[in-house]
Amino acid sequence: MRKKVELSGVNTSELPVLSNQEMRKLFRKMQQGDLKARNKIVGGNLRLVLSVLQRFNNRGEPIDDLFQVGCIGLMKAIDNFDLSKNVKFSTYAVPMIIGEIKRHLRDNNPIRVSRSLRDTAYKALQMKEEIESKNSEEVNLTEVAKEIGIPREEIIHALDAIQDPISLFEPIYNDGGDPIYVLDQISDNNEENESWLEGIAVREALRKLEQREKLILALRFYEGKTQMEVADNIGISQAQVSRLEKAALQDLKKYVKES
């Protein structure tokens, strides 16, 4: 028996689950003006909102409020979903739900950020979402900067400025393996690390690493770039940068011990 949990008056234990075939039939009816079909689509996808809410458990916001905001993102996804594209609705909807909740959290951020920075960040995020929804793939900030005509460095600065203040040890991503923490996003200009990396044993160990791993370590520890900046620089995702960095450091320690 499912445990009864109510959010905004909704009993989550009784939420229906729609098959892909049922969804497509309802979308066709909705696009012909059937409002009941739209309501069924909303009700049949509220579990998507619940799954997204787990990412925002520790933000200090009432869960009921976030659920309602997530539902707004869900309805926007429903109204803009294109049946002709070979994309599952959940694949299209989840980023829009996340984006709506993030916008709500940014708008309620206790730290004051200048209007121009906020406008730049929102414009970049909106363009990023538009490109990703059209192409169904991740886009880097260089492409976003080109589309909106704002230098990439300004976009990075604006996005950093609107981030919520959270613990350095709060996990921000987990794909089933080692989580990525906020600490992983911070530049490291520590002189002790620089001198350690310049040691003879480490130089020998660095030669054994793959070229991309060496580049990531150089950008992170020599140039002091964040993982977001490194990801944009070499054209891969931030999560990939984190995994490669950790693997490279582990290999480096192993090679140093062997030398």
Give Cα 214 distance to the centre of its chain.
25
Entry pTM: 0.45
Q: Cβ(141)–Cβ(150) under 8 Å?
A: no
pLDDT tens track for 37-84: 998 998 888 888 888 888 887 666 788 888 889 999 999 999 988 888
CATH architecture for segment(s) 1-108: Up-down Bundle (1.20)
Taking residues 202-212, report their average pLDDT: 73
Q: What is the pLDDT of residue 29?
A: 92
Instruction: Band the pLDDT of 191: cuts 50, 70, 90.
Output: very low
Question: Residue 52 and residue 69: Cα distance in Å, rounded?
Answer: 11
Question: Residue 126 and residue 150: Cα distance in Å, rounded?
Answer: 14
Question: Residue 18 and residue 21: Cα distance in Å, rounded?
Answer: 8
Question: Residue 101 and residue 49: Cα distance in Å, rounded?
Answer: 10
Taking residues 147-162, report their average pLDDT: 83
Q: Higher-confidence residue: 197 or 19?
A: 19
Domain assignments of the chain as residue spans, ordered by start: 1-108, 112-165, 171-258
Task: Note the CATH number of domain 112-165.
Answer: 1.10.10.10
pLDDT tens track for 130-149: 887 777 677 788 888 888 89
Question: Residue 235 and residue 145: Cα distance in Å, rounded?
Answer: 14
Question: Residue 201 and residue 132: Cα distance in Å, rounded?
Answer: 44
Query: 171-258: same fold as 112-165?
Result: yes
Question: Residue 135 and residue 131: Cα distance in Å, rounded?
Answer: 6
Long-range CB contact pairs, 232-239, < 8 A, 24+: 232/140, 232/141, 232/142, 232/152, 232/156, 235/140, 235/142, 237/138, 238/173, 238/180, 238/185, 239/173, 239/175, 239/180
pLDDT tens track for 169-188: 556 555 555 666 655 655 55
Task: Note the CATH number of domain 171-258.
Answer: 1.10.10.10
**Would you say residue 114 has pLDDT above 60?**
yes
